[in-house]
Structure 1
Amino acid sequence: MGHHITASQSTVPDAAQHAGRPKGTPSTGSRTSGSSHAERVFLVQAAFAELGGSAHGPGEIAEVTGLDDSVVYRILQSGIYQRIFERVDRGLYRLRTSAAQLAFTALDHRLDGAQAVLRQLRAATGNGLAFLYMVAPFSGAQRQCVDMAVGDSDLAELGMTPRDVLSVTRSLRTGASGRTILAYLPEVLQQRVLAEPVPEQAGPGVYRDNDALLASLAEVRDLGYALGYEECMAGWNSCAAPIMWDGSIMGAVLLLKLKSVMPVAPDGVIEATKEAAAELSRYGAARPAADDA
């Protein structure tokens, strides 16, 4: 589960073991110096995202990237002066908050037009309630509702409270959109979510057994969508599909309808939800410059 970081195919034997690693300790594969310094720096940066947690040592990063410990150490030291990394304890490093600023800059304007996509989904599903959930910017193991198309509906009259939207639906354990996002997160973040309690306000259909929840995640990846039956709130069923940017999960489109109206999601609802998510995924896809086309 999760996206494993691959190093360059130009590998060399690990001639010099790190002093702190006992002989014979298995690694993720042959160590490599990488095909370029830039590639090695990118691998180290990406390793922090894969490992999760607050801080990591050169040895951990070396295992994930396939780079020599000494190469990782030099990159970390150089990155401190370039304000990419910071040392938080002896032998432990983490990304600086400047990395978050880069991410926010990269995301700027990527979701322009999302409201139109959600309105189209609402129209295509007989006035279903359409929501856009994105991975919460300050926690990779939660989600946040950033847009919706509900027409003139008053959510309170429909039985939804701010707690439903902001509390119960924040957890990735609950609802089709939560499980859709969770299915594509790295395993380290999945385990964090599995360790969380089920929100008290969750609906009767929420997955309470972790084994069943994990099995549902595999199904989401196989099908490319998730169906929810009263997971977040009693009386409401749902369908969700993932928004992927550059191979990484960024969020999910959710279509919600009353159970009395949609006891089972028909093919038309599933396809419309998947198409809306695919359209928003295209918004985040890298596009070649005009002179590169």
Structure 2
Amino acid sequence: MHGNAAAPRPGGTGHAERVFRVQRAFADLGGSVHGPGELAEKSGLDDSTVFRILQSGVYQGVYERVGRGRYRLGTSTAHLSLHALADAPGNAAHQALEELRAVTRGGLVLLYMLAPFSGAHRQCIDMAVGDSDLAELGLSTREVLTVTRSLRTGASGRTILAYLPDAIQRRVLAEPVPDGAGPGVYRDNDRLLRSLADIRDQGYATGHEECMTGWNSCAAPILWHDSIVGSTLLLKPAHVMPEPPAEIIEATKTTAAKLSSYSSAPFPTP
């Protein structure tokens, strides 16, 4: 057994604090499936405490048992995380998107979150497009919901990918570029990896016709408890925004920071 159980951190004591430390250990270790021993070592708790927390969590749907003595975060964790954003006070999440659209004078604003199912993908869960008809703008539902699922495609996808563990990045880079992607999509994996380093350094990404022909973009990460959960994306026609100006980049980052402040539950890594 691990005998180096750490004292509770400031801000939490007793059983609740230990439960949160086990959840956090899943995110810090990366990957998806872990045993009680490695979770104990990462969380600073003894094996028996971690085992009891896992057993109780399986019953509550917080964890799932995978094979003999291995566990992963359960689907209820994803459910709680989605509600944490969707149920922000006064629909504040959508209001933040509307404010970004107003500040950027008519851009299309989309909110992408890591999909709780189907592996390392993202899904659009909200948008602020005003009175715009996406079809009239040359955007199809397929492009918004299907082509953009891949994390290797577009500023919003690369922004999420930049903060995921190396193992997941390798998995995504092994995927083919989606059919229907724009002419600016990153097809060279070395170039794509360099872009991920730039995103982490700068805190944002810009895209040039990556997902859709004729549309440029700017995206910034949404981080909960230092874990990536999604990104905010601003789209404008390429002829209107050949390059995202500094004020649009800052506005997009500010919106993502606001959405990051709504964190209330850890979000699972795919």
User: What TM-score comes out, normalization by structure 1 length?
Assistant: 0.75
Partner of 1:24: none
Alpha carbons 1:57, 1:93 under 8 Å: kept: yes
Segments of structure 1 that go 5 or more residues without pairing to the other structure are 1-15, 18-30, 287-293
Q: CA deviation at 1:86?
A: 4.3
Q: Check if 1:121 corresponds to 2:100.
A: yes
User: Quick one: which of 139, 142, 146 aligns to 2:121?
Assistant: 142
Q: Check if 1:240 corresponds to 2:219.
A: yes
Q: Check if 1:272 corresponds to 2:251.
A: yes
Q: Deviations over 1:222-244 (max 9, x none)?
A: 11111001110121111111222
SS in 2 for 1:185: coil
Distance of 2:261 and 2:57 partners within structure 1: 32
SS in 2 for 1:280: helix
Partner of 2:163: 184
SS in 2 for 1:113: helix
Moved more, 262-271 or 181-190: 181-190
Q: CA deviation at 1:123?
A: 2.6
User: Quick one: which of 190, 209, 214 aligns to 2:188?
Assistant: 209
Provide closer, same or farther for how the CA distance between residues 166 and 41 of structure 1 changes in structure 2, counting only shifts above 3 A: same
Moved over 6 A (4+): none
The amino acid that maps onto 1:49 is A
Alpha carbons 1:240, 1:253 under 8 Å: kept: yes
Alpha carbons 2:61, 2:75 under 8 Å: kept: no
Provide closer, same or farther for how the CA distance between residues 282 and 161 of structure 1 changes in structure 2, counting only shifts above 3 A: same
Partner of 2:25: 47
Provide closer, same or farther for how the CA distance between residues 35 and 81 of structure 1 changes in structure 2, counting only shifts above 3 A: farther
Segments of structure 2 that go 5 or more residues without pairing to the other structure are 9-13, 266-270
Alpha carbons 1:50, 1:186 under 8 Å: kept: no
Alpha carbons 1:110, 1:284 under 8 Å: kept: no
Q: Check if 1:173 corresponds to 2:145.
A: no
Distance of 1:143 and 1:81 partners within structure 2: 28
RMSD of the TM alignment (CA)?
A: 2.9
Q: Deviations over 1:11-69 (max 9, x none)?
A: xxxxx68xxxxxxxxxxxxx722225634443332233344555332344345445555
Partner of 1:21: none
Q: CA deviation at 1:202?
A: 1.0
Q: CA deviation at 1:101?
A: 4.5
Distance of 1:246 and 1:42 partners within structure 2: 11
Higher relative contact order (CA 8 A, sep 6+): 2
Provide closer, same or farther for how the CA distance between residues 89 and 159 of structure 1 changes in structure 2, counting only shifts above 3 A: same
Distance of 1:114 and 1:98 partners within structure 2: 21
Distance of 1:83 and 1:123 partners within structure 2: 41
Distance of 2:18 and 2:49 partners within structure 1: 8
Alpha carbons 1:34, 1:40 under 8 Å: kept: no
Partner of 2:232: 253
Partner of 1:56: 34
Partner of 1:196: 175
Alpha carbons 1:184, 1:249 under 8 Å: kept: yes
User: What TM-score comes out, normalization by structure 2 length?
Assistant: 0.81
Alpha carbons 1:47, 1:65 under 8 Å: kept: yes
Alpha carbons 2:85, 2:259 under 8 Å: kept: no
Provide closer, same or farther for how the CA distance between residues 208 and 32 of structure 1 changes in structure 2, counting only shifts above 3 A: farther
Alpha carbons 2:27, 2:227 under 8 Å: kept: no
Alpha carbons 2:86, 2:93 under 8 Å: kept: no
The amino acid that maps onto 2:6 is G
The amino acid that maps onto 1:183 is A
The amino acid that maps onto 1:47 is A
How many percent identity over aligned positions? Answer: 66
Q: CA deviation at 1:220?
A: 1.0
The amino acid that maps onto 2:68 is R
Alpha carbons 1:34, 1:67 under 8 Å: kept: yes
Provide closer, same or farther for how the CA distance between residues 168 and 105 of structure 1 changes in structure 2, counting only shifts above 3 A: closer
Q: Deviations over 1:98-124 (max 9, x none)?
A: 444444554451271333332332232
Distance of 2:140 and 2:27 partners within structure 1: 34
